[in-house]
Structure 1
Amino acid sequence: MRFALACCLLLAMAAPAGAASASAITADIQKQYESLKGFTADFKQMLKSAATGQVEEREGTISYKKPNLVRWETDTPEKELLLVGKKVVWNYVPSEKTASKSPLNAVFSSKTMIRFISGQANLDEDFVVEEQGTEAGLIKLALTPKKPEPNLVQAFLWVDPQSHMLRSVLIVDFYGNANKLGLDNIRINPGLSDSLFEFTPPKGVTVQDNTVSQ
């Protein structure tokens, strides 16, 4: 009886401690992203289809400037530019000579990868957060959305314990498809010009304007 009572007491004490730790970590992450003006990083992205098991890998660079400017350039396997500007979102594929223009809410109205890397996903308000120890020196957090969306039913974050910057993000959608992004060579507050987040379609490029009905 005493042993059972002791176990119950230990479990009761352990649960709040874990929750407090996760809460403290998310608070440090939010504080870091609220304080920074921007960053640049190299990225490696893995997209896995649950239906076919096919994996697509991408590499390139990401630049972010507060409050919501993003330049996401894929170099391999082919060139592609995703640019979140002040007024619209551009997606440009040079090899296809096509570019699409979309409203900003297409990116920031849901729990997208961009919301995570720009620090605009409110971790405590939007998710139930669980600390899962460390991997390769990084803190691992499991995130379960309080209001799941088709494009996000589970997420995992790997956080630098020193800078409190996200080093890796894994998003799993309703169908089990996985989108994992890893960031390296992160430079905080590099002093980015607004012109880096402007785009004019080159001559001969077909533009699909998705903002017309907005």
Structure 2
Amino acid sequence: MARSSCLVFLLLVSSLIPHWAEAAAINSLKSFIQQTRTVRANFSQTLYDKSARTVQESQGTMQFERPEKFRWTYDKPYEQLIVGDGSKVWFYDRDLNQVTERPFNIAIGSSPAALLAGSSAIEDNFELVELGVQNEMEWLEAIPKSKESAFEFIQMAFSPDGVLKIMALRDNFGQTTILSFSDWDKNPTLPADLFQFTPPGNADVIRE
């Protein structure tokens, strides 16, 4: 089943899952958060418009260190970097030579980074709902509690051994982003300066 079709299927069945359904995916998410302090992985990302047509495909690497430090590097098709140090988040577009700097709590809110790199109190920011098993993966939906979130929901799929494989995000414009993860390296030693960022001297810096 294609990823977009899989997402549509999950959207249709999510309201049919009984509240007493086994909390396998939620348990996998909580175990992932509790047992993982640092992570390094590769990702591929596909953006679909509200008609499920492909808008853009990209790929890169991500690292995080709990709590609240992360680094997302987009290698293709455009070089972009997102770095969070727990206080601020920097968005750097190399082609535009532009940096956007935002306070951490405003930039993150109820975002994917908050799910992956946030504290263990995940249910403070999200309502978690089981979606059942599809394609031999356990799915859940995380619905932001904040009305200011940029996302309507985030769906996550775990393999039977508890490895996060897919994140599907629907934003407030009806666009869907599918993130597929591979080559997980759990609890590696990461250099501290990985989560620090100094804008290039000639870059256009926008502070919000």
TM-score, with length taken from structure 1: 0.77
* 1: CA distance, partners of 2:70 / 2:55: 25
Counterpart of 1:74 in structure 2 is 74
Query: Structure 1 133/195 Cα, relative in aligned 2: closer, same or farther at 3 Å?
Result: same
**Higher percent of residues as helix:** 1
Tell me which structure has the larger Cα radius of gyration: 1
**1:67 CA drift (Å):** 0.9
* 2: CA distance, partners of 1:150 / 1:200: 27
Q: How does 1:19-58 map to 2 (within 5 A)?
A: 21-22=22-23, 24-50=24-50, 53-58=53-58
Q: Letter of the aligned partner of 2:110 in structure 1?
A: K
Structure 1 stretches of 5 or more lacking a match?
A: 1-13
Query: Structure 1 82/125 Cα, relative in aligned 2: closer, same or farther at 3 Å?
Result: closer
How many residues in Structure 1 have an aligned counterpart in Structure 2? Answer: 191
* 3-state SS of paired residue (1:114): helix
**1:149 CA drift (Å):** 5.4
Counterpart of 1:193 in structure 2 is 191
Q: Letter of the aligned partner of 1:118 in structure 2?
A: A
**1:123 CA drift (Å):** 4.9
Q: Give yes or no for contact 1:34–1:119 (8 Å, CA) kept in 2.
A: no
Q: How does 1:39-188 map to 2 (within 5 A)?
A: 39-50=39-50, 53-108=53-108, 110-118=109-117, 120=119, 122-123=122-123, 126-135=126-135, 137-144=136-143, 151-162=150-161, 164-188=162-186
Q: Letter of the aligned partner of 1:153 in structure 2?
A: E
Q: Which stretch shifts more, 173-182 or 113-122?
A: 113-122
* 1: CA distance, partners of 2:95 / 2:86: 26
Q: Give yes or no for contact 2:110–2:144 (8 Å, CA) kept in 1.
A: no
* 3-state SS of paired residue (1:96): coil
Identity of aligned pairs, percent? Answer: 24
Query: Structure 1 66/145 Cα, relative in aligned 2: closer, same or farther at 3 Å?
Result: closer
**1:102 CA drift (Å):** 1.0
Query: Structure 1 65/107 Cα, relative in aligned 2: closer, same or farther at 3 Å?
Result: same
Q: Letter of the aligned partner of 2:90 in structure 1?
A: W
| CA deviations over 1:57-98 (Å, ceiling 9, x no partner) | 110000001111110000001100000014211111111111
TM-score, with length taken from structure 2: 0.79
Q: Give yes or no for contact 1:57–1:77 (8 Å, CA) kept in 2.
A: yes
Q: Give yes or no for contact 1:26–1:124 (8 Å, CA) kept in 2.
A: no
* 3-state SS of paired residue (2:82): strand
What is the RMSD of the two structures over their aligned residues, measured on CA atoms? 2.6
Structure 2 stretches of 5 or more lacking a match?
A: 1-16
Query: Structure 1 94/158 Cα, relative in aligned 2: closer, same or farther at 3 Å?
Result: same
After TM superposition, the runs of 4+ consecutive aligned structure 1 residues lying more than 6 A away are none
